[in-house]
Each structure stands twice: as C-alpha cells, then as structure tokens.
Amino acid sequence: MDLQTLTYLVVGSTFALYIGIAIWARAGTTGEFYAAGRGVHPVTNGMATAADWMSAASFISMAGLIAFVGYDNSTFLMGWTGGYVLLAMLLAPYLRKFGKFTVPEFIGDRFYSPTARLVAVICLIVASLTYVIGQMTGVGVAFSRFLNVSSEIGLFVGAAIVFAYAVLGGMKGITYTQVAQYCVLILAYTIPAIFISLQLTGNAFPQVGLFSNTLADGVPLLTKLNEVIGELGFASYTGHHSNTLNMVLFTLSLMIGTAGLPHVIIRFFTVPRVADARWSAGWALVFIALLYTVAPAVGAMARLNLVDTIQIGQVGAPDGNLAYDDRPDWFRNWETTGLLKFEDKNGDGRIQYYNDASQGFAAKAEEFGWKGNELDVNRDILVLANPEIAQLPNWVIALVAAGGLAAALSTAAGLLLAISSAVSHDLIKGAYNPNISEKSELLAARIAMAASIVVATYLGLNPPGFAAQTVALAFGLAAASIFPALMMGIFVKRINNKGAVAGMLTGLIFTIVYIFWYKGWLFIPGTNFAPDTPDAWVFGISPLSIGSVGALLNFGVAYFVSNATEEPPQEIQDLVESIRIPRGAGAATGH
C-alpha cells in the first residue's frame, strides 16, 4: 500500500473513533458539559490532561527547539513539567473542593468581586484564544503535508471533528476523545523514537539511548554530537551558552504559567474527590513524562542524523558534502512545503550546512570555498520528518501524521471548552442573567462553543502576523495574573478584594507592557520601544521570561494592599477554611 493511501486510512480511522466517542458521550446537563459529571477516574483524567496539555507545540516543535539549541532549551522540558508539581500541591485539590465550574468563578467568589472575575475572564479568553490559533494552524500544516489537501480544507475538516464531540459532549465528550487522542499521539511519538534509538545506540529506551555509546564508533552519543556540530562551527550541544538568570526566570515562568492555564485547571474539576485530584496530577505527569523524557533524545538523535545525512565525508574535503542531486526523498518532500530550503551559494552543486555566524569558523569556511550556510531547516519539521530521515516503514510515517493531528485537536478542544464555559457560565449566567435555567445555560454553553470554534477556525485561516509571538502572552498572562490570584486565594486568608484586584492588574499590566516594549505594541512591527535583543533587555531578562517577575509583583502588591485595607468578611474566611479540607467535597457537586 502506498504512503498516501495508508495515511488516509490511519488518519481516517482515528477520526472515525473520535466521532464514535462523540455520539456515545453526549452531555445532558451543565454538570456534564462543564465537568463531565465529576465522574472521571483519576487515571483517565490524567491521560486526558496529558492530551489536553500536550499541544502541537509539544508534539511538533519541542524536540526541534532542543535539537537546534541543545542544553539551553532544557528550560522547556523542566518548565512544562514542573508546573504539575505546583498544580498538585497548590491548586488542583483546593479548586476541586471548591466545586464550581470555571476558574474566574473561583476568583469572583473568593474575592467577592465581579471586577476580579471579569479580569480573570479577560485573561482567560486572551490566553486561550492566542493558544488555539497555534493548534488550528498546526492542523492545517499536518493536513497539507501528509494528506495532500490544502490547509484550508484541512482546517475545516479538523474544526468539524472538534465541533462534533465538543458541542455534543462538552467536557464529557472531550475527556473521552482526549484519552483516545493521547494513545494515538504517544504511540506516534515513541515508536519512531524507539526505532531511531535502536539504530543509533542499540538501546530500545530513547531516555537511556541519549546517554549511551553510538553503535557506529562506540563513543557516547552526546560527545559525538558535540564533535560533529563543533567541526561545523556550531556551539556545543551540551554547553551552557545563555544568561543564567534568564534561564531560571524562563523556566519559572513556564512552570507557573502551566499551573495557571485555565484549560488545564478545569480538567481537575472532573474527578469525583479531592484525593483523586492529587493522584490525577501525578498520573497526568506520568503520561506527559512519557513524551517529555523522549523528546530530548529525539532532538539530539535527529540533529545527529541530519548532520550525518548532509556531511557525508571529511569537513572541508571537496566530496565531503552531499551532492544536491543525490538528496534523499524526505528532503524533496519537505522542499515542496517550503519548510526546508537549499540555496547553492558557492555553486558547487553540494549542500553545505554549517554555522556561518561563527567568527571563529569564518576563516576555515573561506579556505574550503564555502560562501555561507546553504540549508535552511525549519525546526518544526524535525519530528514530522524524523521517521523519513531514519527510513522507517510507511505505517510509522502515517501514524506520526495522525499523532500530530491528535495533539493539536485535543488541545484545541480543551481550550475551546475553557473559553465557552467562561462565556456561558461567567459572562451570561454570572454577570448578565443569573436566573437562567439549567436547560438554557446548557444551550448557551453549546452556542458559545460553536461560536468559539468558528472564531478559532477564522483565526486559523487568517493567523495574525504575530501568532508565533502570542505564546509568550498566553503564558505571561497565566503566570502573572491567574496563578498568583488562585494561590493567594487559597493560602493567604488575609487577601481581600482590593488586594486581589490591585495585584492582578499590576501583574497583568507590567507583563504586557514589558512584552510590548520589546515586541511592539499589540505586536505591530516597528512600534517597539527597544530592540528585542539580549543586550537591550533589563538584566538580560527576555520578554518570554517576564511572567515570573509579573507574578512576584502580583504577590507583593496584593499582600501590601490587603494588609493596608480591611479584613475579608467572615463568610469569605469560612469559605477559605472549607476549601482547605477535603471533607464534604461530594456535597459541592450538586451545584
């Protein structure tokens, strides 16, 4: 069977599975729509959380981010997993005990302030919408590369699938499709990694293979990688080349941003008990770690394979580089997408891939007759092209396509639920019409979901030029505004409405201004006040890392303002007491 047919078959059957689940898991009440009736087993929820959390960025981009930078980008690995420790210990069990349906609802009730709830709704919608754009464009890319249809049609098909299970089933439908999607994506990620690890190191566990000797010449894989890229003028893979303070703050921002992202938090509302919320965070990290411990191995091995493909002989020898006419099939396939580009700068018909920004290497390059790096590799293609580079069988390539789609669709659905529940529950029921009936609210939730899908599809078709930048915004908002408010709401009884609002606004405004200062106001090119370079950043802190500083400001301001003003009313203090103990969590589910 040829690759095209096989891919249609594999992707088609996963889609049929998702639709089947949608029909089986319809939601009949708002409790089922918002929180899957709070009947999800902690392990099931952990798996759904893992799919919810691991987006197109985790599946497609992360290994590439590590492959082309090395140690310095370990920040993504620690940051995107360390947040679960915070979730498990600081937020999830208490918010589950609180027993409501949305994150802004907790903030509004705990700080007895509609303003606080509104600020939270705005942060939630901005963070989730920006995030969803990336998922939708990811769906389009996967379709256009693997299924040979235009990315527009791909987007419509993807949106229709999400529509089916998210509008019908709400959280209930999303949960069970996410479980299926997790299985697809983790198989798609680990199977090629195992093959490649076996090929390079003979070790079936990529996590161990990364630190093993290569079969080819018996030296450790990482030593070998440092050598071959070093010969081409690249900085060492395992070395530390970036600003340490920035690395710490970036990791911290990713951690608290992860813990503060509403679409992740609401997953913990679906388990039956407080104790389950604790276990479930652990299970979520187990399923996430299966991918996250493999990703650095995929990155290092793919980089080595890539260099070995291009640099076939001695560096500098006339026949040391691959002739363009001899390029392998995967190279041709990816050239047609424009994500892999070759330009024969010195006209020798061979591909030179090296670091032409390195001054130390410039003299050598000149001596070799090289006129600049000739290969431009988009780092997002590494994971997708990996099975082809390693010459794995066609069914593995088809599976990777289905995995990429599963990662993007599962995250998109989770984000859309967070947005639609904020609209129907916080804005319509909370602010506009508190007396809305259960049936009407469920209808409103479904309409809000359908509308969010339409907006997300539109944004996916016409991604604003700043789409790639907005991830910083999503994490910045979650880290600087939502996480501190939730944590203080639980752990510091003294925080009152004034303190919380002042803290959230301070964190929010500070973070947004710092990001826009370097990246342009509303990301409009040319409107930035300073160049976005390490030299211009305050203390070398990148706009991507500023969320953690915003969070510290939020904590500080909230604390001082609260202590300078009156104590929160007695019933709020009682509320805080009650969410701190698990007993009685069952009673809250009625709502």
Residues in contact with another protein by CB under 8 A are 66, 71, 74, 77-78, 81-82, 84-85, 88-90, 93, 207, 210-212, 219-224, 226, 238, 240, 244, 247-248, 251-252, 273-275, 278-279, 281-282, 285-286, 289, 292-293, 296, 577, 580-586
C-alpha–C-alpha distance, residues 466 and 165, integer Å: 30
Pairing verdict, β 340-342 and 375-377: antiparallel
Residue number with CB closer to another protein (293 or 358): 293
Whether residue 138 contacts residue 58, with contact meaning beta carbons closer than 8 Å, is answered with no
* Closest of 455, 409, 458, 396 to residue 196, by C-alpha: 396
- Pick between residue 43 and residue 396 the one whose CB is nearest to another protein: 43
Could you tell me where the DSSP H helices lie in 91-239?
Answer: 92-98, 103-110, 114-146, 151-201, 206-209, 221-230
- 57 CB burial (10 A radius; 0-12, 13-18, 19+): buried
In sequence order, the 6+-apart residues with CB closer than 8 A to the CB of 177 are 18, 21, 22, 25, 165, 169, 410, 413
Least separation in angstroms between residue 459's CB and another protein is 33
Q: How far is the CB of 75 from another protein (least distance, A)?
A: 8
Compute φ and ψ for 93, nearest 5 degrees: -60, -35
Closer residue to another protein in complex, CB, 221/453: 221
Nearer to another protein, 118 or 294 (CB): 294
Among residues 345 and 580, whose Cβ is nearest to another protein? 580
CB 233 within 8 A of CB 361: yes
Give least dist CB 240 to another protein, A: 7
Task: Pick left, alpha or beta for residue 373 (phi over 0 → left; psi -120 to 50 → alpha; otherwise beta).
Answer: beta
**DSSP conformation letters of 51-109:** HHH--HIIIIIHHHHHHTT-GGGHHHHHHHHHHHHHIIIIIHHHHHHHT-S-HHHHHHH
- Round to the nearest angstrom and report the end-to-end CA distance of the chain: 54
Rounded to a whole number of angstroms, the minimum distance from the CB of residue 201 to another protein is 10
Q: Whose Cβ is closer to another protein: residue 456's or residue 495's?
A: 495
323 DSSP β-pair partners: 350
Place of tokens 């209808």: 443
Q: CB of 585: closest distance to another protein in angstroms?
A: 5
- For the bound state, the minimum distance from the C-beta of residue 489 to another protein, rounded and expressed in Å, comes to 15
Q: Least distance to another protein from the beta carbon of 361, Å?
A: 22
Q: How far is the CB of 62 from another protein (least distance, A)?
A: 12
Tell me the residue type at 443.
Answer: L
CA atoms within 13 A on the CB side of 186: 20
Shortest gap between Cβ of 36 and another protein (angstroms)?
19
Shortest Å distance, C-beta 47 to another protein: 15
Q: How far apart are CA 375 and CA 360, in angstroms?
A: 20
Nearer to another protein, 195 or 279 (CB): 279
Tokens for 507, please give them. 């964190």
> Closest approach of Cβ 93 to another protein, in Å?
8
Look at residues 550, 560, 20, 539 and name the one whose alpha carbon lies nearest to residue 257: 550
Quote the tokens at residue 587.
Answer: 């009673």
Query: Residue 467 burial by CB count (10 A; 0-12/13-18/19+): exposed, middle or buried?
Result: middle
* Helix then strand then coil, % of the chain, to nearest 5: 75, 0, 25
Q: Are 499 and 565 in contact (CB under 8 A)?
A: yes
Query: What is the smallest separation between the CB atom of 405 and another protein, expressed in angstroms?
Result: 26
**Which residues sit opposite 375 in a β-bridge?**
342
Angle between helices 114-146 and 438-461 (to 10 degrees): 50
- Minimum CB distance to another protein smaller for 36 or for 221: 221
**Residue 209 and residue 194 in contact, taking contact as beta carbons nearer than 8 Å:** no
C-beta of 78 vs 396, nearer to another protein: 78
Phi, psi of 55 (to 5 degrees): -100, -175
Q: Which two tokens stand for residue 421?
A: 């529940």
CB 18, min distance to another protein, A: 29
Q: Which is nearer to another protein, 118 or 265 (CB)?
A: 265
Q: Which is nearer to another protein, 85 or 451 (CB)?
A: 85
Q: What is the rounded CA–CA span in Å between residue 278 and residue 268?
A: 9
Between 107 and 300, name the residue whose CB sits nearer to another protein: 300
User: Which of 290/505 has CB closer to another protein?
Assistant: 290
Nearer CB in complex with another protein: 222/508: 222
Question: Which residues are CB-contacts of 454 (< 8 A; sequence separation ≥ 6)?
Answer: none
| Distance in Å, CB of 581 to another protein, minimum | 4
Distance CA 386, CA 302 (A): 7
Q: State the nearest-atom distance from the C-beta of 143 to another protein, in Å.
A: 32
HSE, CB side, 13 Å, CA atoms: give it for residue 179: 16
- Toward another protein, which CB reaches closer, 364 or 494? 494
